[in-house]
Amino acid sequence: MFKGMVLAGALALGLGSNAAFAQQPAEADPVSAAFTAAMPAMKHGPARIALRDQATLDLPEGFVFIPQREAGVILDSMGNSVDDQLVGMIVAPESGGFSVIDYIPSGYIEDEEAKDWKVDEMLDGIKEGTEQQNEVRKERGLPEMEIVDWVEKPRYDAASHRLVWSLSSRHRGAAPGEDQGINYNTYALGREGYINLNLVTSMADIEKEKPAAQKLLAGIQYNDGKRYSDFNPSTDKVAEYGIAALVGGVAAKKLGLLAMIGVFLAKAWKLVLIGVVALGAFFRKLTGRGDQA
């Protein structure tokens, strides 16, 4: 799972950056260079993508999958660390956001507590975790963040073993009306762990992005023997935490799932800020679809 990433409003960081970014050569900064280098490895939908030895993803037409190694370089170029739980990234050239896929071999996640969500307590826990992470951000010279509210309260489908939740955030002290960053989390539980598909976008785009995120989630199918229903209580490992921790406890500790695009400004690099909207425009340019936007 990629760690140390900070939630930020994509448009708050990237407002006005589209025109400036379009004027830059592809090699002008580490992010665009990383995307350019990843192009030979990109897989265009429709395609069936293997997610480790656990599952497959039916990648729809218009979406592009970037494998683990290349995705790791891209995320690193954004100022974020990654680990071996990263599976890859998905970008839709016609979209303003991108998604990161992780597989977490946690063991079987018990889901009984989903019947009694205490979403207010979950939100308080995440806010507390954000305050703790703000100490790290200050040490790294990054802006402090604050959680605003649920964009979508935790919703679990016990039949398909799918979990969805979403939060909005902003820079502390942001001006009124400044766009908020959105982290739209979807999970598919399996026998040995879970797949997390995390969409990074903005409040302005979240409603139009939700159907795509949900379509990707529905396209994840676990392999025979790896499904949630294949769990054997006599032999299989049970996770140390239940499903609520995927929203509260674990999420509060790993706000790397809440991505920041504008880390370069904090590092004083002379780079064009790449907001999510600018990133989508750049990707359309790279894939030769700029005239189809």
pLDDT beyond 80 at 264: no
More confident residue, 140 or 3: 140
pLDDT digits (tens, 9 = 90+) for 142-193: 778 888 889 999 999 999 999 999 888 887 887 777 767 788 899 999 999 9
Alpha carbon of 64 to those of 47, 67, 91, 217, 245: distances in Å? 9, 10, 5, 15, 30
Give me the mean pLDDT over the 271-277 stretch: 33
At 279 the pLDDT is 53
Q: What percent of the chain has pLDDT over 70?
A: 72
At 20 the pLDDT is 32
Domains along the sequence of the chain with CATH: 10-292 (3.40.1000.10)
- Predicted TM-score (pTM) of the model is 0.77
**DSSP bridge partners of 155:** 164
Question: pLDDT band for position 283 (50/70/90)?
Answer: low
More confident residue, 224 or 279: 224
Vertex 22 angle, CA 261 and 14, to 5°: 30
C-beta of residue 244 within 8 angstroms of C-beta of residue 252 = no
Question: pLDDT band for position 284 (50/70/90)?
Answer: low
Q: Per the structure block, which two tokens stand in for 157? A: 């489908």
Q: Per the structure block, which two tokens stand in for 34? A: 């990383």
Sign of dihedral through CA atoms 35, 38, 40, 42? Answer: negative
Element (H, E) at 10: helix 10-14
pLDDT beyond 80 at 272: no
pLDDT digits (tens, 9 = 90+) for 216-247: 999 999 999 999 999 999 999 999 888 988 88
Give me the mean pLDDT over the 107-132 stretch: 86
Give me the mean pLDDT over the 198-221 stretch: 90
- Strand-pair category, 86-91 with 64-67: antiparallel
Question: In angstroms, rounded to a whole number, what is the distance separating the alpha carbons of residues 200 and 215?
Answer: 15
Residues 6+ apart with CB under 8 A from 32: 24, 26, 274, 282
Q: Per the structure block, which two tokens stand in for 144? A: 């402090």
pLDDT beyond 60 at 103: yes
User: Strands, E, within 60-204: which ranges?
Assistant: 64-67, 86-91, 98-104, 145-157, 162-171, 181-189, 194-202
More confident residue, 102 or 172: 102
Question: In angstroms, rounded to a whole number, what is the distance separating the alpha carbons of residues 56 and 281?
Answer: 28
Lowest mean pLDDT among 116-125, 134-143, 235-244: 134-143
More confident residue, 111 or 277: 111
More confident residue, 203 or 234: 234
Question: pLDDT band for position 285 (50/70/90)?
Answer: low
pLDDT beyond 70 at 248: no
C-beta of residue 93 within 8 angstroms of C-beta of residue 64 = yes
The pLDDT mean for the chain works out to 76
pLDDT beyond 70 at 106: yes
Tell me whether residue 121 is exposed, middle or buried, using C-beta atoms within 10 angstroms of its C-beta: 0 to 12, 13 to 18, 19 or more: exposed
Q: Per the structure block, which two tokens stand in for 77? A: 């170029």
Q: Per the structure block, which two tokens stand in for 207? A: 């409603």
pLDDT digits (tens, 9 = 90+) for 12-40: 222 223 333 334 444 457 878 888 899 99
Strand arrangement, sheet containing 162-171: 43-44, 64-67, 86-91, 98-104, 194-202, 181-189, 162-171, 145-157
At 127 the pLDDT is 83
At 154 the pLDDT is 93
The end-to-end CA distance of the chain, in Å, is: 32
Lowest mean pLDDT among 49-58, 63-72, 77-86, 283-292: 283-292
